[in-house]
Amino acid sequence: MAAILYYLLYSLGGVVIVFCLLPKKSPVVRVWLGLCLGLALEMWLPALCAFAFTFSKTAQAVAIAPLLALTACAVFLRDKSPWAKLQEKDKRLIRLLALVALPLTVVTGYLHWTHTIMPRADGSIHVGQSTYGDLALHLAIASSVRNASFPPQYNILPGALLAYPFLVDSLSTTFMLLGLNLRWAVLFPNLIMTALTFSGYVILAERMADSRKGAALAALLFFLNGGLGFMYLVDMQGVALGSYMDNQLQSVAGLWQRIENVLNGWYQTPANHQEFGTYNLRWSNVIVDMMVPQRTTLGGWCQVIPCIYLLYDAIRPQTALSAALPAAGDGAAPLPRRREISWRHTILLGLWAGMLPMVNTHCFLALGLLSAGWMAYDLIRCRQERLSALLFWGVYGLLAVAVAAPQLFTWTFNQAVGNDRFLKFHFNWVNNPSSGMRDGYLWFYIKNIGLPFILLLLALLEKNEKRRFIASGAFVIFLAAEFIQFQPNEYDNNKLFYIWYMLCAVIAADYGLELLGRLKGLRARPVVAVLCAFACFFTGILAVAREIKSDYMLFSKAEVEAAEYVENNTDQHATFMTDYSWHLNLVSTLAGRNIVCGPDIWLIYHGYDNRDRQSDILAFYADPYGNAGVLKKYNVDYILVGSYERSSMSANTRALDLLYPRVYASADESIIIYGVEGARVW
C-alpha cells in the first residue's frame, strides 16, 4: 500500500505541475503529460537523494521534499489563464484512446503478467520467450540497488560503475523498499509505463496526423509492425526446404505447419528470426521484443513521447486536424510559420528532455537528432521571426544540455570514450556485417518494414509541408543510425530506428489513407484495403501470438528456495563466487547480491573485457586449494555450486567440502553454498 500511495503522490505532483504550467492544453493531454512527468520525477528525485542517503527508505522519504518544492514553484509561477475545459474534440480523442490504446494495453499487459517471473504451483518461476534473456539483468539491477551507495556499481561486476541507464530499474527498487515483492515491483511500473506509452503515441499521432483515422492507423502500423517476412511462409510451401536450425522457417511443408512452427519455435517469427544469415529478418515487433523485455526502452518511450509532443506543439501550434484543409496543388494546408513562445512550455520541455539520458540514452540521442533536424527546417522557413525562433531553440537546447551533461559525463562518456567498441562507422545497420551486405539496400528495408516503408518514400515525393517537416527531423535520426554504430551490439541501433519509424508511421498512415481515398468509387477498393492491412499487420500479429503462447522456466523450485535463503541469511552487500557463463544466476538476479563476474552477453555489450576474472573463476573451481587467493582478490564471502558450476566450471566439490563449511544445501544437494568465513585453509 505504501508503494502505491507513493506513486500516487508523484502522479498528483506531476499533474498539478502540468496543469499550472500548461492550462491551455486539452485536459486529456494535461493528465497524460502530468502522469508521465510524475513518473519521471519518481525515477529521478529518490536517485538524487541517494547520493546523500544511499538508495534507502530514507532517500525515498527525503525525496518528497523536492517534489513538494517543485509543485509549489509550479503553483507560484503558474500561467493564470483559465484551464481549458473538456470539449467535443477531447471526447473524440478519449474514444480514440479507448478504441486503439486500451486494447493494445490489455494485450501487452497480459504479456507483462505472464512474462514477469510468473510463479507456478510447483514453486518454479516462468517467463516468456522475449523476457528469457533480458529480464534477468533488469531484476539484478532492481534487486541490488537497495541501500546501495550512489552512483551504483554493477552487482554482476563489482567495482565497475553501473553506466547502463538504471533509473527504470531503480524505480522498481523504490517499490521494493516500500513493500512490494520483486515480481510486483517490476510488473506494476511496467503496466503503468505501457498504458502511458500507448496513450501517448495515440495522442502524439492525433496531433500530427491529418485525421483521427490517420492517427489510429499510425498507431497500428507502429505497434503491430513486422514487415513482409510472412511471405517466407507461403513461398515454396509445397516442399520442406530445411531442417531444425537450418532454414527452419521453411523446414515443413504446408502453410499451417509453418505457422505452427512460428507459434511453437524459438524465435521463428518472421519479424525477428534467429537465422539472420538465412532470412535477414531483423525488424522486431516493438511490443514483444521492445516494450515487454526491454524495460529501459519502455521507460524511455514513456518519457520521450511527451518531449516530442511538447516540441512539435511548440513549433507547429495549429492542430493537425484543423490544418488539413486542402490547398491547391499542395496537399494539406501549410501550417503557421511562427508561434507565441510560452516560456513555461519551453522550460518544462528543456528540463524534461535533460532527464532522459539515464532513463534511456538512445531516446535522449534520438530526441537531440530530431531537434537538430526540426531546428534547421524551422530556422530556414522562419525568416521574419528568426530571432524569436533562435531564442526558443537556444533556451530549450541549453536547458536540456545543462541537465543532461552531468549524467553524460558521469556515466555515458565514462563508459564509451576511449573504448573502441563504441562509436564507429558502420553503414547499413545489421544488413552489412563484416562479410558484406546480405540484401540489396532498398530491398532490406522493404522486406523488413514492408508496405509502410514504400508509402513513406512515395509520400515524400509529394509536395506536403507538414510531412516534409516531420521527415526533416526523423531522417536525421535515420542517417545517424544508418552510418554510426553507437554500441558494441550493432543491433542496438534499432532503438534509434524505432524513434524514426514512430514519426514516419504517421506520414505513411496519412498517405496510405489519401491513396485509398483516391480509389473511392472503385468496387475493388475494400479488397485493396484488406490486402494492404494483411500485408501490414500479419507478421506483427504472428509475433504477438507467438509471444502470448510462449512459456519457459526461468528458475526451478530449488533455485528459488536457494535465492530465498541468500536473501534472508546473507549480508546485502555480500559477494558470491558463481558461474559466469550463464545469464540466469539466482544470486545476482533474485537476491541482488554481488557476484565476481556476470555473463558476456551483457557485459561485453556494455564495453567490459572480463577475461581475467573469468580465468580466475575457472582456476578456483578447478583447484580451490591452489587458488584460494582468488577469494581474497575479489573479497568473496560465499561460494555457490549448482548445475552450471558443475558443468561449465568443472567445480571440484570434493575439495570444496574439505576446505569450506556448507551453509546451505538444497534437498537434493543440487545447489550448495559454502561460507568463506571459517575456511579450513587460506
For 639-654, what is the mean pLDDT?
94
Task: Say what the pLDDT of residue 681 is.
Answer: 61
Instruction: Please give the share of the chain, as a percent, with pLDDT higher than 90.
Output: 85
Task: Say what the pLDDT of residue 322 is.
Answer: 39
How would residue 167 be classed by pLDDT, with cut points 50, 70 and 90?
very high
Per-residue pLDDT for 338 more than 70?
no
- Kindly compute the dihedral angle of the four CA atoms of residues 643, 645, 650, 651, in this order, to the nearest 10 degrees: -110
Give the span between the Cα atoms of 371 and 447, in whole angstroms: 29
Task: Say what the pLDDT of residue 405 is.
Answer: 96
Residue type, 565: Y
How would residue 205 be classed by pLDDT, with cut points 50, 70 and 90?
very high
DSSP state of 84: P
Of 277-286, 335-344, 553-562, 660-669, least confident by mean pLDDT is 335-344
- Per DSSP (E only), the strands in 360-472 are 424-425
Task: Say what the pLDDT of residue 320 is.
Answer: 41
Give the span between the Cα atoms of 209 and 504, in whole angstroms: 11
Residue type, 303: Q
Distances (CA, A) of 128 to 79, 115, 131, 194, 292: 47, 5, 6, 17, 10
Of 165-174, 292-301, 338-347, 621-630, least confident by mean pLDDT is 338-347
Residues 496-547: tens digit of each pLDDT: 999 999 999 999 999 999 999 999 989 999 999 999 999 999 999 999 999 9
Task: Say what the pLDDT of residue 414 is.
Answer: 79
Residue ranges and CATH numbers for the domains of the chain are 1-86 (no CATH), 191-225+288-549 (no CATH), 556-675 (3.40.50)
Task: Say what the pLDDT of residue 499 is.
Answer: 98
Q: What are the cell numbers at 314?
A: 511548440
Give the span between the Cα atoms of 449 and 465, in whole angstroms: 24
Contact predicate 156/143, CB 8 Å:
no
Task: Say what the pLDDT of residue 659 is.
Answer: 94
For 156-166, what is the mean pLDDT?
94
How would residue 333 be classed by pLDDT, with cut points 50, 70 and 90?
very low
In 519-665, where does DSSP find H-type helix? 525-549, 557-569, 586-589, 600-603, 611-622, 629-633, 643-647, 653-659
Q: What are the cell numbers at 303?
A: 518519457
Residues 361-374: tens digit of each pLDDT: 999 999 999 999 99
Before 151, cis peptide (omega within 30)? yes
656 closest CA partner among 674, 642, 669: 674
Task: Say what the pLDDT of residue 609 is.
Answer: 85
Q: Give the CA diameter of the chain.
A: 90
Instruction: Please give the share of the chain, as a percent, with pLDDT higher than 70.
Output: 95
Per-residue pLDDT for 334 more than 50?
no
For 85-105, what is the mean pLDDT?
96
Residues 40-50: tens digit of each pLDDT: 999 999 999 99
For 212-229, what is the mean pLDDT?
97
The single residue listed with the C-alpha cell 510451401 is: 237
How would residue 388 be classed by pLDDT, with cut points 50, 70 and 90?
confident
Residues 578-597: tens digit of each pLDDT: 999 999 999 999 999 999 99
Task: Say what the pLDDT of residue 427 is.
Answer: 93
Q: What number of other Cβ atoms are within 10 A of residue 180's Cβ?
A: 20
For 246-268, what is the mean pLDDT?
93
Give the span between the Cα atoms of 177 and 2, in whole angstroms: 10
Residue 221 burial by Cβ neighbours in a 10 Å radius (0-12, 13-18, 19+): buried
Compare 341 and 354 and report the one with higher pLDDT: 354
Task: Say what the pLDDT of residue 337 is.
Answer: 47
CA angle 156–302–323, rounded 5-degree value: 155
DSSP state of 288: I
Contact predicate 353/396, CB 8 Å:
yes
Residue 236 burial by Cβ neighbours in a 10 Å radius (0-12, 13-18, 19+): exposed
Q: What are the cell numbers at 170?
A: 531503480
Q: What are the cell numbers at 420?
A: 573502441
For 473-487, what is the mean pLDDT?
95
Strand partners, 576: 595, 638
DSSP state of 290: I
Give the span between the Cα atoms of 544 and 269, in whole angstroms: 9
Q: What number of other Cβ atoms are within 10 A of residue 501's Cβ?
A: 23
Give the span between the Cα atoms of 170 and 155, in whole angstroms: 13
Task: Say what the pLDDT of residue 319 is.
Answer: 43
Per-residue pLDDT for 110 more than 90?
yes
Residues 560-575: tens digit of each pLDDT: 999 999 999 999 999 9
Compare 609 and 59 and report the one with higher pLDDT: 59
How would residue 415 be classed by pLDDT, with cut points 50, 70 and 90?
confident
Per-residue pLDDT for 16 more than 50?
yes
